[in-house]
Structure 1
Amino acid sequence: MRKKATSLAPGRGSRSKEKTKIILKLLKEYPKSKISEWLEISNLPKSSYYEWKIKLENQIDKDKEVKDEIKTIVEATKGRYGYRRVTMVLKNKGFNINHKKVLRIMREESLLCNKFKTRSRKYSSYKGEVGKVADNLVKRQFTASKPNELWLTDVTEFRIKGEENKLYLSPILDLFNSEIISYTLSNHPTIELTNTMLEKALEENKDTKNLIIHSDQGFHYQHSTWTKKLEKMNIKQSMSRKGNCLDNSPMENFFGILKQEMFYGEDFKSYDHLRNEIEKYIKWYNEDRIKTKLNGMSPVMYRLHSA
Structure 2
Amino acid sequence: MARPKKSTKTTRKQYSEEYRSEALALAAKVGVSAAAKQLGLHASQIYGWRSKARLHQDRGDAEKQLAAENARLKRQLAEQAEELAILKKGRGVLCKEPEMRYAFMQEHRQEFSVKAMVRVLNVSRSGFYDWVARGTLCSKRQQHRDQLDRLAQECFTASKKRSGAPRLTKELASRGNAYNRKTVAASMRRQGLRAKAAKKYKATTSSKHNLPVASNLLKQNFNATAANQKWVGDITYLWTEEGWLYLAVVIDLYSRLVVGWAMSERMTATLVCDALRMALWRRKIPRGVIVHSDRGSQYCSRDYQSLIKAHNLECSMSAKGNCYDNACAETFFHSLKVESIHGERFPTRLVMRETVFEYIEVDDNRTRLHSANGYLSPEAFEAQQTA
The one-character-per-residue Cα deviations of 1:165-192 (angstroms, maximum 9, x if unpaired) are 3110000010001110110011111221
1:300 maps onto 2:358 in alignment: no
* Higher relative helix content: 2
Shift of 1:76: 1.1
CA contact (8 A) 2:199 2:334 kept: no
Shift of 1:227: 1.3
Shift of 1:90: 1.1
Where do residues 143-292 of structure 1 align in structure 2 (5 Å cutoff)? 143-160=223-240, 163=242, 165-206=243-284, 208-283=286-361, 284-292=363-371
CA contact (8 A) 1:216 1:241 kept: yes
Q: TM-score, normalised by structure 1?
A: 0.76
Supply the distance in 1 between the matched residues of 2:217 and 2:295 (Cα, whole angstroms): 13
CA contact (8 A) 1:241 1:247 kept: yes
CA contact (8 A) 1:213 1:235 kept: yes
Q: 2:160 maps to which residue? A: 78
Identity of aligned residues (%): 29
Q: TM-score, normalised by structure 2?
A: 0.61
Shift of 1:119: 4.1
Where do residues 30-45 of structure 1 align in structure 2 (5 Å cutoff)? none
Shift of 1:208: 2.0
**Alignment length (residue pairs):** 253
Q: What do you get for the CA RMSD once the two structures are aligned?
A: 2.2
1:94 maps onto 2:176 in alignment: yes
- The structure 1 residue matched to 2:186, chosen from 101, 104, 116, is 104
Supply the distance in 1 between the matched residues of 2:234 and 2:197 (Cα, whole angstroms): 24
CA contact (8 A) 1:83 1:112 kept: no
Supply the distance in 2 between the matched residues of 1:83 and 1:249 (Cα, whole angstroms): 23
Q: 2:77 maps to which residue? A: none
CA contact (8 A) 2:233 2:248 kept: yes
Q: 2:39 maps to which residue? A: none
Supply the distance in 2 between the matched residues of 1:81 and 1:134 (Cα, whole angstroms): 37
Shift of 1:207: 5.5
Give the SS at the match of 2:359.
helix
Q: 1:126 maps to which residue? A: 207
CA contact (8 A) 1:116 1:265 kept: no
Residue 174 to residue 117, structure 1, CA distance change in 2 (3 Å): closer
Supply the distance in 2 between the matched residues of 1:252 and 1:96 (Cα, whole angstroms): 32
Structure 2 residues not aligned, in runs of 5+: 1-103, 109-134
Structure 1 residues not aligned, in runs of 5+: 1-23, 29-54
CA contact (8 A) 1:151 1:173 kept: yes
CA contact (8 A) 1:169 1:184 kept: yes
Residue 90 to residue 192, structure 1, CA distance change in 2 (3 Å): same
The one-character-per-residue Cα deviations of 1:214-242 (angstroms, maximum 9, x if unpaired) are 01111121112221222121111111112
Give the SS at the match of 1:62.
helix
Supply the distance in 2 between the matched residues of 1:263 and 1:203 (Cα, whole angstroms): 28
Supply the distance in 1 between the matched residues of 2:167 and 2:160 (Cα, whole angstroms): 13
Supply the distance in 1 between the matched residues of 2:375 and 2:338 (Cα, whole angstroms): 20
Q: Aligned partner of 1:299: which letter?
A: P
CA contact (8 A) 1:118 1:264 kept: no
Q: 2:35 maps to which residue? A: none
Shift of 1:110: 2.3
